Structure 1
Amino acid sequence: MSVVFVITPHDRSAPAPDFDALLTRVDPNDAVLSVFDAGVARGDGVFETIGVNAGSARKPRSHLDRLAASARIMDLPEPDAEQWMHAIERVAGLLDPARGGVIRLVMTRGTGDGRPTCWITGEETPPEVREREHGVRVVLLDRGWPIDIAERAPWMLAGAKTLSYAPNMAALREARRRGADDVVFTSLEGYALEGPTSSLIVRTGTMLVTPTSGDGNLPGTTQRELFGWAEQNGFSTQSRRVRADEVRQADAAWLASSVRLVVPIIAIDDRTMQVDEGLTRRMNEHLLALG
């Protein structure tokens, strides 16, 4: 089942609206987006993807905070958090609670009239994700960026979740050409960054580490939730620069995202990695219990 609503953005200078009146449900097969929309023509927009389990969106406020941060970086209007929260709850309530799901929020620069184009979609997914149990093989691919890209060239929009995902998808295709499932990007200096659609987490002993978002990595909502849980369960956590060799030599490593949750890395560049099955299971159980 798929659900699609077009959202008319709330004018903040107007009285408090009926948010339902600003939601228009459309058939997923209907054409509703202009071919002149900047999101289509130039990838000029931002988005968020939220996992759904047992009929509830996981940590929607964190995703709305990140949507607003991306909009600021892109010089887009600030989304009304309460309006989008209402839309998220409407979509989540229409999905089968016995299945998993994914909600996608999208805001583009529109057609040039100064008004953004906004919509929200919901799709049902299998309740189990194979990679959580079986893991993924990854390759390290050079992103072509220096580690200080966000400071050196802010117009590259590092750290914003934009619709311009063509390089990320190309990286995944390259991984499959090399016999792998996923990617960890590296900087020109050899630091590990993030995956095309995920955050990187590395374990050494009782220390969990993720590459810092200040170096152009997207702040990970799932990673942040996991670190909060880990600190209450005997682990220390750090967000800092991580050398690629540190990932290769780690006791365990994972890719974390809103839909797949925590996926263990079982090999890097054909080199077998240790897998912490027990910790992987505990982390996913924690995330699946969240609403």
Structure 2
Amino acid sequence: MGDFGVFFGRADQLLDTAFEGEPELRVVEPRDASVSVFDLGLLRGDGVFEATTVVDDVPLAWHLHLRRLAQSAAALDLPAPNLRVLDAFVREAIRRMGPTPHAHVKLVITRGVDASLSAVSLPVVPTVFALVDPGFGRRAPEIEIVTLERELFRDSAERAPWLLLGAKTLSYATNMAARREYERRGAQNAVFVTRDGYVLEGPQSSVVIREGNRVATPHPRIGILHGTTQVELFAWAALNGLEISYEDIPTERLFAADAVWTMGASFVQSVTAVDGRAVAHDLAATDAINGFMQSQRAAIDAWTSSHLPG
């Protein structure tokens, strides 16, 4: 397995739905990797990305990530990605790393250089690159979280679609500020809540609760990403006879649930405390879910193919 990998692609291949060939990759040494200082991804966070865990050379739930990438690109009026070619691009990047038992892969698309800068005589084309990190650390199975209010209401996404609340963009300053805040409070994650008291999502994770024989997650229409790992957890639940539901979840249900999970990149963490208050948790179920996600990829792919994020 190689060191950290940086791979640039060609926008005229990866973002051209008519392109039928195989993608070209330009490998760059990590210390030499760069984008233009005029790139809108750098200057304004104007771009989209997806990331997931790689296990034994396979990017987990990648078809879900690619579909969500296309939705995010459409929300930002970026060129429509060629999902077949992007899939081949990322898998080839992973292959070039050599045997990869466990890693993290990220695919980034920016709008490219700022066309409004008259002094810049550079082609205005999107920037596309993939990062493969074989040193990606494993996460703890149990965590404590805090709730953090966002200046949003339950219907903000519907009333203000220009806020791009359901798109996975590069504008992550708020998410990183939330991370610093939960770390200051001694927690390992946070869950955003609306001003009117409903659960949203974490800065980098989805939220699912279990109440008896039923698992529920906030509906994406509330203004959150439709989590790919959440869909995988729903596959586990449905295949094990549990009821699944997308619904509005008042914050107080976090404290009364039989289990609370946060999740991302095909890994689930069991929440043991919320805002310093112990909550019911189920480590055995958490271990079972993570084992399922690692070992039952065919079953997950079959189920999720007919239950894709909307």
TM over 0.5: yes
Q: Determine if contact 1:53/1:97 at 8 Å carries over to the other structure.
A: no
| Cα distance in 2 for residues equivalent to 1:12 and 1:196 | 31
Task: Note the C-alpha offset of 1:96.
Answer: 5.6
Contact 1:55 1:95 in 2 (8 A): no
255, 263, 271: which is aligned to 1:256? 263
Distance 2:206 2:287 in 1: 18
1:120 to 116, 123, 130: 130
Quote the Cα distance in structure 2 between the aligned partners of 1:70 and 1:202: 26
User: SS in structure 2 opposite 1:191?
Assistant: coil
The answer to whether the Cα contact below 8 Å between 1:95 and 1:123 also exists between their aligned partners in 2 is no
- For 1:7 and 1:79, how far apart are their aligned partners in 2? 12
SS in 2 for 1:214: helix
Question: How much does 1:61 deviate?
Answer: 1.0
Choose from 5, 10, 22 the match for 1:3.
Answer: 5
Provide Cα deviations, 1:166-190, integer angstroms capped at 9, x if missing partner.
1001011111111111100000100
Aligned match of 1:131 in 140, 162, 167? 140
Indicate how the Cα distance of structure 1 residues 74 and 139 shifts in structure 2: closer, same or farther if over 3 A, else same: same
Change (3 A) 1:15 1:59: closer
TM-score (norm 1): 0.93
Amino acid at match of 2:38: F
Contact 1:101 1:122 in 2 (8 A): yes
1:34 matches 2:36 = yes
1:81 maps to which residue? 83
Whole-Å Cα distance in 2 between the matches of residues 250 and 96 of structure 1? 43
Q: Which of the numbers 267, 271, 278 marks the counterpart of 2:284?
A: 278
Bigger CA drift: 30-39 or 157-166?
30-39
The amino acid of 2:73's aligned partner reads: A
Question: By how many angstroms is 1:92 displaced?
Answer: 2.2
Task: Say whether the 8 Å CA contact 2:208–2:260 is kept in structure 1.
Answer: yes
Decide which of 72, 75, 79 is 2:74's aligned counterpart: 72
CA deviation vs aligned residue, 1:212-270 (integer Å, no higher than 9, x gap): 111111001111111022111021110111000001111110001015x0000111000
| Structure 2 CA distance for partners of 1:194 and 1:14, relative to 1, 3 Å | closer
- Which residue, out of 183, 201, 211, partners 1:194? 201
Aligned-pair distance for 1:117? 0.8
RMSD: 1.7
- The reply on whether 1:242 has 2:249 as its aligned counterpart is yes
Find 2:48's aligned residue among 36, 46, 49.
Answer: 46
Q: Which amino acid aligns with 2:275?
A: D
Distance 1:70 1:13, change over 3 A: closer
- Does the 8 A contact of 1:96 with 1:124 survive in 2? no
- 2:185 corresponds to which residue? 178
Structure 1 stretches of 5 or more lacking a match? Answer: none
- Residues 249 and 110 of structure 1, relative CA distance in 2, 3 Å threshold: same
Aligned residue for 1:192, secondary structure, equals coil
Partner of residue 227, structure 1 = 234
One-letter amino acid matched to 1:232:
L
Paired residues of 2:153 and 2:194 also in contact (CA < 8 A): yes
- What is aligned with 1:17? 21
Aligned position for 1:91: 93
- Secondary structure of the residue that 1:279 maps to in structure 2? helix
Query: Which range is displaced more, 113-122 or 270-279?
Result: 113-122
SS at match of 2:130: strand
Distance 2:201 2:88 in 1: 31
Q: CA deviation at 1:98?
A: 5.7
Q: CA distance change for structure 1 residues 215 and 87 in 2, over 3 Å: closer, same or farther?
A: same
Q: How big is each residue's C-alpha offset from its partner over 1:128-181, in whole Å with a ceiling of 9 and x where there is no partner? A: 72412xx11110000111111111111111100000011001011111111111
- Name the structure 1 match of 2:158: 151
Query: Number of matched residues?
Result: 285
Query: Gapped runs of 5+ residues in structure 2?
Result: 116-122, 299-310
Q: Structure 1 vs Structure 2: percent identity of aligned residues?
A: 38
Measured at CA, do residues 61 and 95 of structure 1 come closer, stay the same or move farther in structure 2, by a change above 3 Å? same
What is the letter of the counterpart of residue 272 of structure 2?
A: I
Tell me the distance in 2 between the aligned counterparts of 1:93 and 1:49: 16
Query: Where does structure 1 differ by over 2 angstroms across 4 or more consecutive aligned residues?
Result: 11-18, 94-99
